[in-house]
Amino acid sequence: MRSPLHELHEELDATFTEFEGHTMPLQYSSIRDEHLAVRHHVGVFDVSHMGNLYLRGADAASLVSRLTTCNPDKIKVGMGFYTAILREDGTIIDDEVFLHTGSDEYLFVPNAGRHDTVAAWFARHGEDMDIELENRSSQDVILAVQGPSSPDVLNQVVDAPLDDLKLFACTDVDRGDRCILSRTGYTGERGYELYVTPGAAGRELFTELLEAGEPYDIRPVGLGARDTLRLEKGFALAGNEFAGGRTPVEAGMGWAIHWDHDFIGRDVLEKQKAGEHDHLLFLRCTGRGIPRHGHRVELDGEPAGVVTSGTFSPCLKTGIAMAYVTPGFQDADMYDVVVNDRCIPARSVKPPFVEKGDC
């Protein structure tokens, strides 16, 4: 599958990559330059490989409550939240942001390649409920405008109360047939995302953002820098941190679980959090080497866990990683990441790896 903006990316000389069944820009210049542009200035991403799933109807809130770790009664119209959709055994089908876009309407944004699975899960459990599902994935455009200068750029292109938008807030703006603007993102910087119908309006908006952002050194940014940016902030990637059947308790997502409502998988999570289980730790390398997905983590020569995501941090100029560590090995300060049969020392740290303004 290709983004509705694919031809525009070709015109911008993007290098492409395959990701979860989608052909998307990996980079336009270099991953490092695009990464630092977002940290210091502003970048615009096409993230249309993500899904657009609208849930509407009188029973929409009841279904959200049943299928996610979030209690929708806590999320007012015009706000959103980060949540997880679970199987009966408590493992994660998908993690995603959803927005409460109307009294009986929610917009869910599944990860790449998961929108059909999520839509089918909603349809299955909402079969006898008053709901309507509209899956606009791969039809609409999702743009992310991220970085310290993102409000300055957006103010020239859309009429929206950017200064008043709290984190996870959303509002409709007058672009295309419909355009929802949210104060969300995957970079850890001040930023916004726009969900644009139809795709042609998204192309026009992408071009206008690049033109308006020229005085702010805006860059188009690909999936390469998106990955290094999210990892510096300790944000999970569905295909990495949740692969193989992980739960929100193991992944350290307790803050995204509302325990005051009944949801699928809740009983399993309550039992798990009361006992021993794997933990997702954050490792900053103190020696030379770049940890990658699948690398072994050791403590005093004993197998302790496995890296789920790893990269070279453009801001810290060292290797960083997220890794699941098994019970009995979780309280150490230092570990070794085994890279090509060589042990790279790494310190256990609290996320994020890079605080805002520290790059």
Tens-digit pLDDT profile for residues 90-118: 999 999 999 999 999 999 999 999 999 99
Shared domain for 143 and 222, answered yes or no, is: yes
Which stretch of DSSP H or E encloses residue 173? strand 170-173
What are the distances in angstroms from CA 213 to CA 154, 226, 294? 8, 19, 39
Is 308 inside any structural domain? yes
The percent of residues in the chain predicted with pLDDT above 90, rounded, is: 96
What mean pLDDT do residues 292-320 have? Answer: 98
Map residue 331 onto helix, strand or coil: coil
Query: What is the residue range of 356's domain?
Result: 278-359
What mean pLDDT do residues 228-252 have? Answer: 96
The percent of residues in the chain predicted with pLDDT above 70, rounded, is: 100
pLDDT at 296: 98
User: Cα(140)–Cα(85) distance, rounded to whole angstroms?
Assistant: 23
Shared domain for 149 and 122, answered yes or no, is: no
Shared domain for 153 and 16, answered yes or no, is: yes
Is 268 inside any structural domain? no
Is 252 inside any structural domain? no
Checking if the pLDDT of 319 tops 90, the result is yes
Pick the last residue of a domain from 119, 135, 151. Answer: 135
Q: For residue 357, what pLDDT band results from cuts at 50, 70 and 90?
A: confident
What mean pLDDT do residues 237-255 have? Answer: 95
Question: Both ends of the chain: CA-CA distance in Å?
Answer: 35
User: Cα(52)–Cα(328) distance, rounded to whole angstroms?
Assistant: 41
Is 311 inside any structural domain? yes
User: Cα(52)–Cα(58) distance, rounded to whole angstroms?
Assistant: 20
Shared domain for 221 and 106, answered yes or no, is: no
Q: Could you give the strand order of the β-sheet that contains 80-86, starting from the edge strand earlier in sequence?
A: 80-86, 92-102, 105-109, 53-56, 132-135
Pick the last residue of a domain from 110, 135, 160. Answer: 135
Which stretch of DSSP H or E encloses residue 46? strand 43-46
Pick the last residue of a domain from 135, 152, 180. Answer: 135
Closest CA to 122 of 75, 68, 69, 183: 68
Q: What is the pTM of this model?
A: 0.96
Average pLDDT of the chain to the nearest whole number? 97
- DSSP-assigned letter for residue 333: S
User: Cα(171)–Cα(169) distance, rounded to whole angstroms?
Assistant: 7
Shared domain for 227 and 178, answered yes or no, is: yes
Instruction: Give ∠ CA 258-226-335 in degrees, rounded to 5.
Output: 75
Closest CA to 119 of 49, 52, 20: 52
CATH of the domain at 186: 3.30.1360.120
Q: For residue 28, what pLDDT band results from cuts at 50, 70 and 90?
A: very high
**Burial class (CB within 10 angstroms; exposed 0-12, middle 13-18, buried 19+) of 321:** buried
Q: For residue 210, what pLDDT band results from cuts at 50, 70 and 90?
A: very high
Shared domain for 44 and 143, answered yes or no, is: yes
Is 272 inside any structural domain? no
pLDDT at 356: 87
Is 266 inside any structural domain? no
Shared domain for 144 and 130, answered yes or no, is: no
Shared domain for 38 and 166, answered yes or no, is: yes
Shared domain for 25 and 156, answered yes or no, is: yes
What mean pLDDT do residues 263-275 have? Answer: 97
pLDDT at 138: 86
Shared domain for 158 and 200, answered yes or no, is: yes
Residues 6+ apart with CB under 8 A from 175: 158, 194, 196, 201, 205
Token couple for 144: 């992310």
Map residue 23 onto helix, strand or coil: strand
CATH of the domain at 313: 2.40.30.110
Q: For residue 78, what pLDDT band results from cuts at 50, 70 and 90?
A: very high
User: Cα(307)–Cα(303) distance, rounded to whole angstroms?
Assistant: 12
What mean pLDDT do residues 158-181 have? Answer: 95
Is 285 inside any structural domain? yes
User: Cα(57)–Cα(130) distance, rounded to whole angstroms?
Assistant: 6
Checking if the pLDDT of 177 tops 90, the result is yes
Is 267 inside any structural domain? no
Token couple for 221: 């940014």
pLDDT at 17: 96
Q: What is the pLDDT of residues 272-298, one digit of tens each?
A: 999 999 999 999 999 999 999 999 999
Number of domains observed in the structure of the chain: 3
CATH of the domain at 81: 3.30.70.1400
Residues 6+ apart with CB under 8 A from 67: 85, 86, 121, 122, 125, 263, 264
Shared domain for 95 and 125, answered yes or no, is: yes
CB of 28 closer than 8 Å to CB of 38? no
Shared domain for 160 and 46, answered yes or no, is: yes
What mean pLDDT do residues 6-15 have? Answer: 97
